[in-house]
Amino acid sequence: MRSSRLWPVAAALILAVTLALVPSGVLAQSSDPVRAGTGMVVSESWIASEAGRDVLAAGGNAVDAAIATGFALAVTHPSAGNIGGGGFMVIRFPNGQTTAIDFREKAPLASHPEMWLENGEYSAERHHRSHWAVGVPGTVAGFDKAHSLYGDMNWERIVYPAVVLADDGFVLSDRLSGSLSRFALTDGRPAATVAQFSNGGTAYAAGETLRQTDLGRTLKRIMLDGRDGFYRGETARLLVAEMERAGGLITAADLEIYEARERVPVTGYYRGYEVISMPPPSSGGVAMVTMLNMLERFDLASFGHNTAPYIHHLSESMRRAFRDRAQFLADPDFVDVSVHALTSKEHAAELGNDIQSDRATPSGVSDIPMGYESPETTHYSVVDGNGMAVSVTYTLEGGFGTGIVVPGAGFLLNNEMGDFNAGPGLTNDRGLIGTSPNLARPQQRMLSSMTPSIVARDGRLVAVVGSPGGRTIINTVMQVILNVVDFGMNIQEAVNAKRIHHQWLPDRIGIEADGASAETVRLLEAMGHTVQVGGGQGTAHSIMIDPRTGERLGAADPRNPDAGARGH
Ligand code: GLY
């Protein structure tokens, strides 16, 4: 599997020519998707999409291309693309069968539910920004597992484009150079972080080349030794040395025993469409199917897109599903989660029974508050020539995770432990949550909102959808699906359309800037809603299949100009 040494020169040449010729992801910024006859990759970075597309063009399947894209994103989209974090992959095979790979980070063996208390007081610093905030990374194990179960192509060929991108570098866009300098040159960043993401302590300008040679060496070890190139040997030694230096918790044993899990996806049915998504430890699939089940009894199209009655009904279903999320969802290896019951039509009927057509249902004082969850993370979608579809969302949690680059290894460490609850009984009105299911315990996976999803109908692939955005992810993905199913939008229009968000608490509807008229906001307020307009919500890089021609229609989200849909 890891034997061939002949192809790297050719692959490097192809990659270098491609990088020189194609300047931007601008193609995807209209209301028309990018069309391709065979395969398609859409991601946050057009450079990474091309790495995946080239794997498809060279005969790899959608899983191979997804892994290549994921490793490339770890180089070209460092705020969320990663090898030091974790995530989820949902796969639909050409025969309609589905599966999911869970490579969510795990709590180190030394973790415990009260670990975020310092002298009896909750410490947000420890929970979100310290070396204790780092979960045992899962990405490399997840990609290795997906490849060994369902990949077709030589592993080295798949990882190699990322090695070249790290070693030879890539040209920085306006957006990325700006975000790197804001991140790396903030006071207090570790020396290895400043060294990796600035030019000797000076900000990179757009048009300059970012080379990451330590990361290149780590990726080479992964290319040659697969999983062991990360969880054992030099990479593991460097990671554990950083933990020991700074009093972190991850040990060689934590790395050695980390395993990705294959899981059964959550499947729901909405107006005849099959919606396949990620089960716990993500809350995404369960919450989205619960909302769709509640919404099915309303004629949403007749309300009109983003009108007051439409936004009202969405918000009412969102607040109810998010309450379930806080009460019931966590790592199923530790907590009994009744996925079947929560996603049943009967449960939705009960939950949505008291939705009124013209009055908001306030989120009451006895309700369960939500803790902080970062809007960072990244999603990408892949479809190959045989119709295999792969939907991947993975993350470092915060933008650039903890901000700590492992010295000598060149990758950023996640702060995913922040997705565990604050501590037993710590629920309070400032937004801490202390319910038991999602407390930090040795080896437990923290609850996530990531919602990599696939839609099918009558046995045929319809779309691949997902997004970053913390808890807004679930609502973003659902709205892209509603835009296609209820409003007949093409996939680019569905991705571009303005989105809304409600998450139970705070009891407030968020609407993207220019997402609703002043009159719509006034009508919503008259129903008893609090409304906040502004900002953006997610970047939902998606693919749809043209039902007439079978073409792959790629929709990069224009909210990130560096994103790109690349097909062949
Ligand atoms: N850390 C973001 C998520 O897992 O949903």
pLDDT band at 4 (very low <50, low <70, confident <90, very high): very low
pLDDT at 375 over 70: no
What is the C-alpha to C-alpha distance for residues 178 and 185, in angstroms, rounded to an integer? 11
- For residues 320-340, average pLDDT: 91
Residue 139 Cα to ligand 1 midpoint, Å, equals 14
- Residue 7's pLDDT band (boundaries 50, 70, 90)? very low
Q: Which atom of ligand 1 is nearest to the CA of 447?
A: 4
Q: What is the pLDDT of residue 26?
A: 36
CA of 136 to the centre of ligand 1 (A): 15
Answer with the residue of higher pLDDT: 426 or 187.
187
Mean per-residue pLDDT for 486-494? Answer: 98
Residue pLDDT, tens place only, 257-289: 999 999 999 999 999 999 999 999 999 999 999
Pocket test for ligand 1, best of 139, 377, 402, 501 (most atoms within 8 A of CB): 377
pLDDT, average across residues 29-55:
95
Confidence bin at 425 (pLDDT 50/70/90):
confident
Q: What pLDDT shows up at residue 424?
A: 83
Ligand 1 centre distance from Cα of residue 419 (Å): 7
- Residue-level pLDDT at 126: 96
Q: Whose CA is nearest to atom 1 of ligand 1?
A: 397
> pLDDT tens for residues 395-421?
999 999 999 999 999 999 999 999 998
- Choosing from 283, 329, 395 the residue with most ligand 1 atoms within 8 A of its CB, the one to mutate for a pocket test is 395
Residue 24's pLDDT is what?
33
Question: Which tokens in the block code for residue 140?
Answer: 């490399």
| Alpha carbons 568 and 561: distance in angstroms, whole number | 21
Say if residues 183 and 403 touch (Cβ distance below 8 Å). yes
Reply yes or no on whether the pLDDT at 368 is more than 80.
no
Judged against a pLDDT cut of 50, whether residue 108 lies above it is answered with yes
Residue 430 pLDDT more than 60? no
User: Which atom of ligand 1 sits closest to the CA of residue 449?
Assistant: 5
Which two structure tokens, joined as six digits, stand for 141?
A: 């194990």
Distance 395 CA to ligand 1 centre (A): 7
Q: Is 377 a catalytic residue?
A: yes
Residue 323: predicted pLDDT:
87
pTM, entire model: 0.93
Cα separation of 70 and 370, whole Å?
Answer: 30
DSSP, residue by residue, 3-63: ---SSHHHHHHHHHHHHHH---SGGGGSSSPEEESS-EEEES-HHHHHHHHHHHHTT--HH
Q: What percentage of residues in the chain have a pLDDT greater than 70?
A: 91
The pLDDT of residue 366: 53
Whether the predicted pLDDT of 429 surpasses 60: no
User: What percentage of the chain carries pLDDT values higher than 90?
Assistant: 86
Nearest CA to ligand 1 atom 4: 448
Catalytic pick among 76, 251, 290, 377: 377
Lowest average pLDDT, out of 22-31, 95-104, 232-241, goes to 22-31
In this structure, which amino acid lies at residue 512?
Answer: E
Residue 6 pLDDT > 60, yes or no?
A: no
With 70 as the cut, is the pLDDT of residue 102 above it?
yes
Q: So what's the pLDDT on residue 327?
A: 83
pLDDT score, position 478: 98
pLDDT-based confidence at residue 427 (cuts at 50, 70, 90): low
Tokens linked to 327: 């009460």
27 pLDDT above the threshold of 70: no
The domains located in the chain, with CATH, are: 65-262+389-419 (no CATH), 265-374+449-567 (3.60.20.40)
Look at residues 151, 105, 102 and name the one whose alpha carbon lies nearest to residue 132: 105
Give me the mean pLDDT over the 110-120 stretch: 95
Tell me how far apart the alpha carbons of residues 529 and 237 are, in angstroms, rounded to a whole number: 53
Q: How far is the CA of 15 from the centre of ligand 1 (A)?
A: 32
Q: Assign 364 a pLDDT band (cuts: 50, 70, 90).
A: low
Looking from the CA of 410 toward its CB, the CA atoms found within 13 Å total: 19
Helix (H) or strand (E) holding 118: strand 117-118
Ligand 1, atom 3: closest residue by C-alpha: 448
Residue from 57, 82, 488, 103 nearest 282 by CA: 103
Can you give the length of the chain in residues?
568
For the residues 532-536, what does the mean pLDDT come to?
94
pLDDT of 160 above 90: yes
pLDDT band at 1 (very low <50, low <70, confident <90, very high): very low
Which position has the higher pLDDT, 323 or 160?
Answer: 160
Which is the closest atom of ligand 1 to the Cα of 419?
Answer: 1
Residue range 314-323: mean pLDDT, rounded: 95
Q: Which of the listed residues 419, 446, 447, 539 should we mutate to test ligand 1's pocket, taking the one with most ligand atoms within 8 A of CB?
A: 419
Asked if residue 13 has pLDDT above 90, the reply is: no
Residue-wise pLDDT for 50-79, tens only, equals 999 999 999 999 999 999 999 999 999 999
Q: What is the mean pLDDT of residues 341-353?
A: 97
Q: How far is the CA of 374 from the centre of ligand 1 (A)?
A: 7
Over residues 392-396, mean pLDDT: 98
Residues with CB under 6 A from ligand 1: 373-374, 377, 395, 397, 419, 448-450, 470
Given a cut of 60, is residue 208 above it in pLDDT? yes
DSSP letter string over 84-115? SSEEEEEEE-TTS-EEEEEE--B--TT--TTT
pLDDT of 423: 83
Which of 106, 379, 416 for a ligand 1 pocket mutation test, highest count of atoms within 8 Å of Cβ?
416
Mean pLDDT of the chain: 92
Residue 290 clears pLDDT 70, i.e. is over it: yes
For residue 39, pLDDT over 90 is answered with: yes
Distance from Cα 10 to the centre of ligand 1, integer Å: 37
Q: Which of 342, 273, 287, 279 is nearest to 488 (CA)?
A: 273
